[in-house]
Copies of this chain bind each other. A is one copy, B any other.
Amino acid sequence: MSEKREIFRKYISQQGLKLTRQRQVILDEFLRMEAHLSTEELYLKVRKKHPHIGYATVYRTLKLLAECGLAKERDFGAGQTLYEVTHRGQHHDHLICTECGEIIEFEDLRIEELQKQVAKKYDFTIRDHRLEIYGRCSKCSSS
């Protein structure tokens, strides 16, 4: 938590930017959330305690957080981009329930390895990837 604030502080100063009150408030509120949330959702959260902070500032701060690696932008095809806190650089992919919207995170190193093999076959240099599995979660299947 505090370690992440430090990362942000350093990034801000490296870039010649300023550590403003708004940015700190937004960062704190973002770190407090778990799971995946949209700019709109974070904006509404922030707004409760700090009604003066504007949508544009939340939007720009989330971009900053993504730049410095504290946040990961996710587009699950639901019309709006979601953000999530990145935990010590660990990568993961998602199972997404199209019924109730639940998002389950998973990692599978075997799949990651096979992706590398595929890329190699086509002489392709991987920068990033996304694997999303859509369907029904256990709760929605049983009901």
Contact = CB atoms under 8 A, between A and B. Distances in A.
A24 interface: no
Interface stretch (A5-13, A36-44, A48-56, A124-132): A124-132
A132 B129 contact: yes
A129 B123 contact: no
Given A110-B114, A114-B110, A123-B138, A130 B128 contact: no
Chain A interface residue number, banded: 20 to 34
Nearest to A134: B128
A77 B74 CA distance: 10
A125 B136 contact: yes
Nearest to A126: B135
Contacts of A131: 115, 129-132
Contacts of A115: 111, 131, 133
Q: Would you list the 3 A-B pairs with minimal beta carbon distance, nearest first?
A: A123-B138, A127-B135, A129-B133
Interface of A: 75, 77, 95, 97-98, 104, 106, 108, 110-111, 114-115, 117-119, 121-138, 141
Given A104-B122, A114-B114, 20 more contacts: A75-B77, A95-B124, A98-B127, A104-B124, A110-B114, A122-B138, A124-B133, A124-B135, A124-B137, A124-B138, A125-B141, A126-B133, A126-B135, A127-B136, A128-B133, A129-B133, A130-B131, A130-B132, A130-B134, A131-B132
